[in-house]
């Protein structure tokens, strides 16, 4: 859910949602209206198995901004 800020812009976002028809099927992608890099579960698992440090994956419905 997006919460508009007085004077325009977004002050707070709770959860990210998108139309799956806009996704090209790639493992790394960004939403059209919001530049947040998204990854598939397959990439998240590979990063975990590779013991990549300084990384945190957040499910879209748990994403918070503002």
Spatial distance between the Cα atoms of 14 and 35, rounded to a whole number of angstroms: 15
Q: Looking at residue 65, what is its pLDDT?
A: 75
pLDDT-derived band at 13 (thresholds 50, 70, 90) equals confident
Q: Looking at residue 40, what is its pLDDT?
A: 93
* 3-state secondary structure string across the chain: CEEECCCCCEEEEECCCCCHHHCCCCCEEECCCCCCEEECHHHHHHHHHCCCCCCCCCCHHHCEEC
Q: Looking at residue 8, what is its pLDDT?
A: 61
Spatial distance between the Cα atoms of 11 and 65, rounded to a whole number of angstroms: 8
Query: How does pLDDT run across 15-63, given as a tens digit for each residue?
Result: 878 888 888 899 999 887 777 788 999 999 999 999 988 888 888 888 8
């Amino acid at each position: 859910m997006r919460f508009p800020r007085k004077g325009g812009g977004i002050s707070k976002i709770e959860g990210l949602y998108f139309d799956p028809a806009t996704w090209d099927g790639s493992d790394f992608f960004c939403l059209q209206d919001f530049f947040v890099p998204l990854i598939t579960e397959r990439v998240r698992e590979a990063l975990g198995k590779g013991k990549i440090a300084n990384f945190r994956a957040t499910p879209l419905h748990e994403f918070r901004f503002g």
